């Protein structure tokens, strides 16, 4: 088991008071498994992703990643966890604009001290960005940027990849291509994938699917 | 700290070279102007100190006349006879040709060794110094100026201020026509015990403590404070550039910070990297600034030296020496300034939640808290200013009032604008007007510094303009009151000036003024005109300067001209004007 969420509750402080977002979410994800997290806007999908990635802390509940309870970690511990145990792919790509594609792809791997030039070479070729290595993010299309972001995450070979609507900004055909690549590479590397998406079509292509409704798992 | 992350952080500057240039130029200029002014002040103060130590022997106690006049040689003799180990000094200005030199006449035999600014210890030196025509001991520059102007032998010594010469007290007495009257008496540190008190021997003398700040240093204090204030103003303006540059770089890298943190760079590590980056740029730019400051100071020093000489008679060398203390001070001020101007941005990065870092609204909300703090500080500064107006005294308190008032007003401006915008937003009905207020409010954090800088610049401009204008008016008024002479004479050279002075001080040998003037064979400036007060006729003095006396129009002579010319009053004459 790579990821286990137990009775996770989370609420946010707003002008109207505390607004509950998650009301006791529990699920598990096995190594190498891919899981789609779907639901309507505001159902708490991204919150689950952020909590699982150690980017935020739950109000209550336990999150085990690789057997470690990340809810008990301090800031430095969570940063260490994010560096070594998890990779996050954002909808907005979040590439570093001042680094070229090659440096962006290798950045996380070098941070995690898992840089492998051979694996990186395979990745960039598989992702179709081997001709773009000298370019900067602003010189790339949305689809190309997303592939660079995927390459950056997979180059670090984290045991768990969290993807927040990674194809949300892409057209259907490019989205299919990107997802194909992601699934192929995560499977080949034994990486677990938790993917947030609105698209039922894309969700159906993953091993499992969970739907969130008003902060709770519907099915 | 991860070198990979640090390298990625620094890559921003390679990617945005113009921003890097703005940052470096901002810090460098701020440091240059500040350290340049400090270099000038340090050079001037060191010069005063050096001059005081060398020329006034101020490391020892001194006796001076209580009335500020001279000391009779009898008083000195009484002190010596009473057993006091003292040494006489005669000093005064003397002209060798066109070169004015400050003569310091010393007695090398009685002068305490710790006050010996020049070495006349060997027998041959002593003989040269006290024997025959004497010897002038001067700096190399003064020696060059004295070339071919005096028959007294000149010896060059290092570390002597320009325009000063040590000479035997006997020669000084003769050259300065002092008839044995002393300027001051140096008191040696070691004295025999049980001596009769000086007050009892010479009650007309006062004891001046050792190490007292030289008079010229006290006189020029406000001048240097003004220079410092302007240097600081320039530094603050430079810091605004730095603040804007760092603010822009932080703003543009918000996404990068978020990415760093989501990829496992801890907040501590990120803050440390930003701090190291800030310090690195501060030191780099500060070093450039100090070098620039040296050139600024070198360029300005001759002018400042001339001003100090003209206003206060202070001698400051026109060349700048490299002093490690202001190199270090320049780097320190660059470092402190850069860190201060980056502190707010660093604080905001430190406080910003990882997931909110790229959200505009979150920054606006963070800014709202900042605005409240800013308003509080501004209010405290304004209160302090008011308090200082009531209780403060002196120049420093005045500067403190100005500083607190200006900074308080500047700090309180953005919160006030924010309050106005909130009210405008709440009061607006139309959707576009509502958007206008909301959007303007969102821009406020980015614009507030520019607005504060504009306020400060306008205030400084109005303040300095008013100050200069009122100073000019006061000065002109003072000139009108003090220098409203009937006759203004322009001398073209020293000889003509001397003749004119002799004329207005009156004939000494019973000659009428015109005859005295004619005897010397000169006439006043050709352009001068005399106007008869009664018949209002202008006459050129070029033809005959004293024909006005013989005009016979019966008009009254000016009393002041009468007094100055020492002629009998009540005669017919003329009033001059040019």
Q: Which domains does chain A have, with CATH numbers?
A: 34-45+73-217 (3.40.50.300)
- Spatial distance between the Cα atoms of B567 and B559, rounded to a whole number of angstroms: 10
Long-range contacts of residues B109-113, Cβ cutoff 8 Å, at least 24 apart:
B110/B80, B110/B85, B110/B86, B111/B57, B111/B87, B111/B186, B112/B60, B112/B85, B112/B87, B112/B186, B112/B188, B112/B189
Window 340-399 of B, Cβ < 8 Å to A: 354-355, 358
Q: Which of B8, B255, B265 is the closest to A94 by Cβ?
A: B255
At residue A87's C-alpha, the angle toward residues A103 and A217, to 5°, is: 150
Window 222-281 of B, Cβ < 8 Å to A: 255-256, 258-259, 261-269
For B574, the token pair is 């003329």
Reading chain B (578 residues) residue by residue, the pLDDT tens digits are 688 899 999 999 998 898 889 888 888 888 888 888 888 877 777 777 666 666 666 677 888 888 878 898 889 898 988 888 888 989 888 888 878 888 888 888 888 777 666 666 667 777 778 777 888 888 888 888 888 888 888 888 877 777 788 888 888 888 888 888 898 888 888 888 888 888 888 888 888 877 665 566 666 777 777 777 777 777 777 777 778 778 888 888 888 888 899 999 998 999 999 999 999 999 999 999 999 988 888 888 887 777 776 666 666 666 677 677 778 888 888 888 888 888 888 888 887 777 754 455 555 555 677 788 889 999 999 999 999 999 988 878 888 898 899 899 999 998 999 899 889 988 888 888 988 988 888 778 777 877 887 888 788 778 777 877 877 787 777 767 666 666 667 777 777 777 777 776 655 444 344 444 444 444 444 334 444 444 444 444 444 444 444 445 444 344 444 444 444 333 433 333 33
Answer whether B499's CB lies under 8 Å from B516's CB: no
Straight-line distance from the first to the last Cα atom of chain B, in angstroms, rounded to the nearest whole number: 79
Q: Do B266 and A96 touch (CB under 8 A)?
A: no
Phi-psi region of A116 (alpha: psi -120 to 50; beta: other; left: phi over 0): beta
Q: Do B12 and A56 touch (CB under 8 A)?
A: no
Q: How many A×B Cβ pairs under 8 Å? A: 70
Q: Which of A75, A83, A103 is the closest to B263 by Cβ?
A: A83
Shortest Cα distance, chain B CAs vs residue A94, angstroms = 6
Q: Does A84 touch chain B (CB under 8 A)?
A: yes
- Spatial distance between the Cα atoms of B413 and B374, rounded to a whole number of angstroms: 9
Q: Do B262 and A90 touch (CB under 8 A)?
A: yes
Answer whether B336's CB lies under 8 Å from B75's CB: no
For B234, the token pair is 């320039």
- Mutation site for B-interface testing, chosen from A94, A151, A163 by largest number of B Cβ within 10 Å: A94
C-alpha distance from residue A125 to each of A130, A215, B295 (Å): 5, 39, 56
Q: Do B8 and A107 touch (CB under 8 A)?
A: yes
Q: Do A111 and B5 touch (CB under 8 A)?
A: yes
Q: Does A81 touch chain B (CB under 8 A)?
A: yes
Window 27-56 of A, Cβ < 8 Å to B: 50, 53, 55-56
- Nearest Cα neighbor of A101 from A28, A64, A151 is A151
Q: Does A95 touch chain B (CB under 8 A)?
A: yes
- 3-class SS at B11? helix
Phi and psi, residue B421, nearest 5°: -65, -40
Shortest Cα distance, chain A CAs vs residue B266, angstroms = 5
Find, in chain B, the residue whose alpha carbon is nearest to that of A50. Answer: B355
On chain A, the residues whose CB falls within 8 A of the CB of B15 are 97-98, 136
The alpha carbon of residue B395 and the mean position of all alpha carbons in its chain are separated, in whole angstroms, by 14
Answer whether B207's CB lies under 8 Å from B55's CB: no
Answer whether B233's CB lies under 8 Å from B463's CB: no
Shortest Cα distance, chain B CAs vs residue A127, angstroms = 21
Window 129-168 of A, Cβ < 8 Å to B: 136
Q: Which of B14, B264, B358 is the closest to A111 by Cβ?
A: B264
Find, in chain B, the residue whose alpha carbon is nearest to that of A96. Answer: B256
Q: Do B2 and A94 touch (CB under 8 A)?
A: no
Residues in contact with B536: Cβ distance below 8 Å, sequence separation at least 6, in sequence order: none
Find, in chain B, the residue whose alpha carbon is nearest to that of A82. Answer: B264
Find, in chain B, the residue whose alpha carbon is nearest to that of A109. Answer: B263
Helix, strand, coil shares of chain A, percent, nearest 5, are 35, 30, 35
Q: Do A108 and B255 touch (CB under 8 A)?
A: no
Tracing tokens 């932080």 back to the chain, one arrives at B250
- Spatial distance between the Cα atoms of B175 and A58, rounded to a whole number of angstroms: 95
């Amino acid at each position: 088991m790579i990821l286990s969420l137990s009775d996770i509750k989370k609420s946010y402080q707003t002008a109207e008071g505390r607004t509950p977002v998650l009301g006791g979410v529990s699920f598990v994800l096995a190594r190498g498994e891919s899981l789609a997290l779907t639901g309507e806007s505001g159902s708490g999908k991204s919150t689950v992703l952020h909590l699982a990635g150690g980017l935020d802390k739950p109000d209550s509940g336990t999150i085990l990643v690789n057997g470690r309870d990340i809810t008990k970690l301090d800031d430095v511990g969570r940063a260490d966890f994010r560096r070594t145990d998890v990779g996050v792919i954002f909808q907005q790509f979040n590439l570093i604009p001042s680094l070229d594609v090659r440096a962006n792809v290798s950045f996380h791997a070098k941070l995690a001290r898992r840089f492998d030039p051979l694996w990186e070479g395979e990745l960039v070729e598989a992702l179709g960005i081997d001709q773009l290595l000298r370019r900067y993010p602003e010189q790339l299309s949305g689809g190309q940027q997303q592939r660079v972001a995927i390459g950056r995450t997979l180059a670090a070979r984290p045991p768990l990849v969290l993807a927040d609507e990674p194809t949300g900004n892409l057209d259907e055909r490019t989205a299919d291509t990107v997802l194909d690549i992601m699934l192929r590479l995560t499977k080949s590397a034994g990486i677990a994938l938790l993917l947030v998406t609105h698209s039922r079509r894309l969700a159906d292509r993953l091993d499992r699917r969970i739907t969130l409704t008003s902060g709770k798992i519907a099915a | 700290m991860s070198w990979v992350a640090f390298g990625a952080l620094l890559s921003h500057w390679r990617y945005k070279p113009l921003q890097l240039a703005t940052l470096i130029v901002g810090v460098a200029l701020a440091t240059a102007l500040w350290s340049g002014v400090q270099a000038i002040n340090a050079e001037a103060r060191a010069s005063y100190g050096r001059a005081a130590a060398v020329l006034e022997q101020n490391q020892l106690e001194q006796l001076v006349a209580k009335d500020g006049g001279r000391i009779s040689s009898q008083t000195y003799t009484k002190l010596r006879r009473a057993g006091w180990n003292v040494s006489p000094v005669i000093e005064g200005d003397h002209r060798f040709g066109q070169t004015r030199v400050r003569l310091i006449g010393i007695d090398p035999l009685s002068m305490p060794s710790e006050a010996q600014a020049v070495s006349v210890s060997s027998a041959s030196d002593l003989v040269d110094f006290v024997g025959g025509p004497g010897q002038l001991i001067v700096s190399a520059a003064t020696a060059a100026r004295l070339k071919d102007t005096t028959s007294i032998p000149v010896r060059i010594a290092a570390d002597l201020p320009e325009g000063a010469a040590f000479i035997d007290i006997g020669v000084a007495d003769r050259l300065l026509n002092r008839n044995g009257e002393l300027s001051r008496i140096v008191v040696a540190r070691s004295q025999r015990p049980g001596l009769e008190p000086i007050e009892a021997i010479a009650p007309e003398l006062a004891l001046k403590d050792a190490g007292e700040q030289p008079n010229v240093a006290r006189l020029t204090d406000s001048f240097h404070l003004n220079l410092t204030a302007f240097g600081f103003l320039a530094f603050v303006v430079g810091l605004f550039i730095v603040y804007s540059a760092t603010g822009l770089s932080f703003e543009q890298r918000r996404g990068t910070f978020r990415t760093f943190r989501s990829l496992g760079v801890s907040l501590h590590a990120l803050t440390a990297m930003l701090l190291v980056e800030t310090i690195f740029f501060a030191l780099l730019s500060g070093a450039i600034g100090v070098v620039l400051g040296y050139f600024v100071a070198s360029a300005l020093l001759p002018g400042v030296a001339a001003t100090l000489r003209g206003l206060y008679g202070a001698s400051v060398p026109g060349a700048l020496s490299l002093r490690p203390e202001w190199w270090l001070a320049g780097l320190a001020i660059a470092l402190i300034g850069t860190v201060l101007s980056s502190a707010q941005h660093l604080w905001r990065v430190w406080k910003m939640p990882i997931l909110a870092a790229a959200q505009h609204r979150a920054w606006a909300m963070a800014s709202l808290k900042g605005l409240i703090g800013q308003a509080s500080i501004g209010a405290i500064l304004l209160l302090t200013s008011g308090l200082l107006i009531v209780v403060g005294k002196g120049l420093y308190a005045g500067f403190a009032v100005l500083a607190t008032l200006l900074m308080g007003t500047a700090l309180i401006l953005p919160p006030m604008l924010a309050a106005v915008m909130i009210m405008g937003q709440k009061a607006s009905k139309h959707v576009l007007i509502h958007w206008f207020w909301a959007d303007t409010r969102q821009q406020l954090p980015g614009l507030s510094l520019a607005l504060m800088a504009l306020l400060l610049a306008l205030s400084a401009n109005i303040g300095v303009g008013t100050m200069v204008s009122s100073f000019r008016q006061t000065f002109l008024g003072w000139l009108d009151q003090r220098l409203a002479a009937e006759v203004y004479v322009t001398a073209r050279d020293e000889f003509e000036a001397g003749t004119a002075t002799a004329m207005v001080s009156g004939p000494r040998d019973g000659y009428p003024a015109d005859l005295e003037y004619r005897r010397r064979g000169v006439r006043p400036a050709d352009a001068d005109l005399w106007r008869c007060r009664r018949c209002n006729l202008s006459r050129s003095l070029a033809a005959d300067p004293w024909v006005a006396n013989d005009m016979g129009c019966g008009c009254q002579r000016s009393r002041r001209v009468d007094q100055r010319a020492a002629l009998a009053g009540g005669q017919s004459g003329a009033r001059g004007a040019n």
